[in-house]
Amino acid sequence: MSTTPASIIGVATPRIDGPLKTTGAAEYAADFHFENMAHAVPVIASIPSGRIRSLDTAAAEKMPGVLLVLHHGNVGPLYRTAPGDENATNSEVRSAFEDEVVRHWGQYVAVVIAESLEQATAAAAAVRVEYEPQPANLRVGLDDYSGKRKTGSERGDFDGAFADAPVKVDATYITPIETHNPIELHASVAVWDGDHVTLYETSQGVVNHRVVMAQVLGLPVENVRVITRFLGSGFGGKLFPWPHTAMAAVAARKLNRPVKLSVNRRMMFSNVGYRPRTEQRIRLGATKEGKLLALRQDYLNVTSQLDDFDENCGEATPYLYSVANLEVTSGLVRRNLGAPMYMRGPGAVPGLFGLEAAMNELADELKIDPLQLRILNDAAKDEDKNLPFSSRHFRECFEVGGKKFGWERRTAGIGSMRREGKILGWGLAGASWVALTLPCTATVEFHANGRVSVRSGTQDIGTGTYTIFAQVIHDKTGVPLDRIDVILGDSALPDGPMSGGSMVTGSVLNAISAGATNATKRLLGLAAATEGSPFHGSEVSSLGFTSGCVHKKGQAAASGTPFVEILNRARLKSLRAEGKTQPTWEDPKAKGVSLHSYGAQFVEVEWEPDIARLRVSRVVTVIDAGRIINPKAAANQIAGAVVMGVGMGLLEETVYDQRTGQPINGSMADYLMATCADTPNIDVTFLDYPDPAMGEYGARGVGEIGLAGVAPAITAAVYHATGIRVRELPVRIEHLLQSKIVEA
Ligand code: MOS
């Protein structure tokens, strides 16, 4: 196993890239500047539906510094991606400038390229577009849907079991459109060299981005290189390419100059995805003792005119609890909006808002403690796939969290708990998220200057991926962190996974470990084979490698020889080897098991009825996500997700003007999200059980699970404090003013 005396795996490790970020040395996509670079600014549609009747660029083209105005009429060929490659892109890229149809407010209709950003901005405002408007569908609610519903999971006989169930819950839960708001705006800088293009991108997946852009631009994949060294987050909004990438690339090709296009915050609200609105009817049937008999979830989500985007609210429903009779159905509702996109915990997060809120209502109906209700219905196996769980400690999450939170002190009555002139509300909910290993290749290299480098074509979305790579190299070689170089964020590197689905950590560990092990084997072979090496002629099997030194097994590492000396004796500048991760679907240890992470959220709210102020004051989160590689970065992910959960529960919602389709609150000033002042006291605990199906280290990843369950725990706490049952997020003051609890 570990070749260092005390392993760094599981040790709180500060970010190795922290100094680069805090000193401003880290280069984000929009930080790349090139000689002779031009600036692109898009022109966006001002109607939600219709056709472009005329597009007059004459005035704009005459303005100072203007180099080019691109639009449907002159963009030239942009290709679609093949139907089998659907997952690699989204429809917005396929349809960029393809026709004269306007399908949503804010759709790109032209792009102006000029010498400076100011000139391009001024000229973009001078492009005259006339439209033939058509009626738009911007209806907020989805309950007008009468189309077909797709059946997802199904088992037993829901209708029969629900009809006979002595206790029932039947309610509809709604989550609004939320817009990803990473601090770093989306941007693309395109630089051509002959028929090769390098794209400096804000991409959560440089390898996929390269494949898609090669298809869209009609280039061989080897002619495209995508670089994303650092990301100021993405939350899913940067998973797949968007049309601005193609616009920058085409403009740069036509002008034979580097072109930068940065999507501003207002355009970001209509052109790079959002979490779609969901409406889900949940029905639960149970015995008088609280055992689930029947569970049904019928959900709808909004999508654009072109996408078949399914916000899979049924993600966690089929396996979370033991229930013999179950059905999940879904439907897509089209509106004149841009394309939706995955957002932190897609599907599961809104889905668990419905399911866990309904479980809390069932507990109230039964007068059973909601924590006991979860334990009573815990699943011993995945009843959907009929497979054992790889590693599930859902019940322990509730037990540990209950103790930490002090749950046994809860009194059930509405408004029955007080503290310092405030009413307290306590609520809880369960959380879950999928786990998988994706294919990954990493190369590890010993250098004659005493450094070790590791490379892979994945990227660090800001979660600590750089540091995890260095930790594994340190664990395997004993070389100190400050002598390890981690090179990521470049599609020219060996293929690595997307920063999506909380899957990078679980996917890269085995490849890095194998790469380090293979490189070490080569080094020991070299030590034995090289003349003048202290180990010349030794059996390789008699050699060990500790703290960066080759030594005889059984002898102290201090007596060994630094790897630099071995490389120098052999006259090698460096020595490298590759390692690969076997994806879950090919790994015999993972094939026959159900792989998920679990969690429990405990929330306290303070309610001051006289001034109608509600605050989330305290959150206890217990997470079962396999082995935790870096508890510092991991706790940061969970705490950040809890803050986002406060936003989901109380603040976030994108609102569209019903006449124009323009986001009314499409700015950082108007779109409410949780900030420091809204942040409760957060207590994060990891159970830290390695998952044997995830390989050597047993880590499942923590990027998303911390958001799951926060909102339903908040609405349960709100009900406990105020007696108001809010089933439509976010919870508003208007809801709470209905409370009969008027005095603290
Ligand atoms: Mo995440 S929504 O897979 O970036």
What average pLDDT does the segment 167-186 reach?
98
310 touches 316 (CB < 8 A): no
Distance 507 CA to ligand 1 centre (A): 15
- Averaged pLDDT of the chain: 96
pLDDT at residue number 412 = 95
Distance 236 CA to ligand 1 centre (A): 4
pLDDT at residue number 233 = 96
Q: Residue 89 pLDDT > 80, yes or no? A: no
State the closest ligand 1 atom to the C-alpha of 235, by its place in the atom list counted from 1. 4
Give the residue with greater pLDDT, 171 vs 4: 171
CA 404 to chain centre: 28
CB-neighbour burial class of residue 172 (10 A; exposed 0-12, middle 13-18, buried 19+): middle
The length of the chain is 744
pLDDT at residue number 79 = 85
582 touches 694 (CB < 8 A): no
Nearest to residue 605, comparing CAs of 420, 739, 424, 736? 424
State the closest ligand 1 atom to the C-alpha of 234, by its place in the atom list counted from 1. 4
386 touches 318 (CB < 8 A): no
CA distance 555 to 558: 8
pLDDT at residue number 539 = 97
- Please report which confidence band the pLDDT of residue 87 belongs to, taking 50, 70 and 90 as the band edges: low
C-alpha angle 275/279/285, rounded to 5°?
A: 130
Q: Report pLDDT digits (tens) over 354-373.
A: 999 999 999 999 999 999 99
CA atoms within 13 A on the CB side of 148: 3
State the closest ligand 1 atom to the C-alpha of 502, by its place in the atom list counted from 1. 3
- Pick the range with the lowest mean pLDDT from 81-95, 184-198, 245-259, 590-604: 81-95
State the closest ligand 1 atom to the C-alpha of 342, by its place in the atom list counted from 1. 2
pLDDT at residue number 223 = 98
Residues serving a catalytic function are 704
Nearest to residue 500, comparing CAs of 20, 72, 180, 99? 180
State the closest ligand 1 atom to the C-alpha of 239, by its place in the atom list counted from 1. 4
* Mutate which of 184, 460, 704 for ligand 1 pocket (most atoms within 8 A of beta carbon): 704
* Mutate which of 311, 344, 438, 460 for ligand 1 pocket (most atoms within 8 A of beta carbon): 344
Q: Residue 2 pLDDT > 90, yes or no? A: no
State the closest ligand 1 atom to the C-alpha of 341, by its place in the atom list counted from 1. 2
Model pTM score? 0.97
State the closest ligand 1 atom to the C-alpha of 343, by its place in the atom list counted from 1. 2
- Please report which confidence band the pLDDT of residue 5 belongs to, taking 50, 70 and 90 as the band edges: low
* Mutate which of 233, 342, 461, 465 for ligand 1 pocket (most atoms within 8 A of beta carbon): 342
Torsion-angle region of residue 74: left (phi > 0), alpha (psi -120 to 50) or beta?
A: alpha
Distance 502 CA to ligand 1 centre (A): 7
State the closest ligand 1 atom to the C-alpha of 461, by its place in the atom list counted from 1. 4
What average pLDDT does the segment 712-724 reach?
98
Q: For the chain, how are helix, strand and coil distributed in percent, rounded to 5?
A: 30, 25, 40
Q: List all residues 6 or more positions away from 624 whose beta carbon is below 8 Å from its beta carbon.
A: 391, 392, 393, 394, 396, 397, 597, 598, 599, 686, 687, 689
Report the nearest-CA residue for atom 4 of ligand 1.
236
- 3-state SS of 237-289? CCCCCCHHHHHHHHHHHHHCCCEEEECCHHHHHHHCCCECCEEEEEEEEECCC
Distance 314 CA to ligand 1 centre (A): 17
Q: Report pLDDT digits (tens) over 142-153.
A: 999 999 999 999
Distance 345 CA to ligand 1 centre (A): 7
What average pLDDT does the segment 501-521 reach?
97
Distance 630 CA to ligand 1 centre (A): 20
Give the residue with greater pLDDT, 89 vs 242: 242
Rg (CA), the chain: 28
Distance 111 CA to ligand 1 centre (A): 29
* Mutate which of 181, 202, 239 for ligand 1 pocket (most atoms within 8 A of beta carbon): 239
Q: Report pLDDT digits (tens) over 592-640.
A: 999 999 999 999 999 999 999 999 999 999 999 999 999 999 999 999 9
202 touches 230 (CB < 8 A): no
Distance 239 CA to ligand 1 centre (A): 7
Q: What is the three-class DSSP state of 105?
A: coil
Site residues for ligand 1, CB cut-off 6 Å: 204, 234, 236, 239, 342-344, 346, 500-501
Distance 408 CA to ligand 1 centre (A): 36
Distance 506 CA to ligand 1 centre (A): 15
Q: Report pLDDT digits (tens) over 538-589.
A: 999 999 999 999 999 999 888 899 999 999 999 999 999 999 999 999 999 9
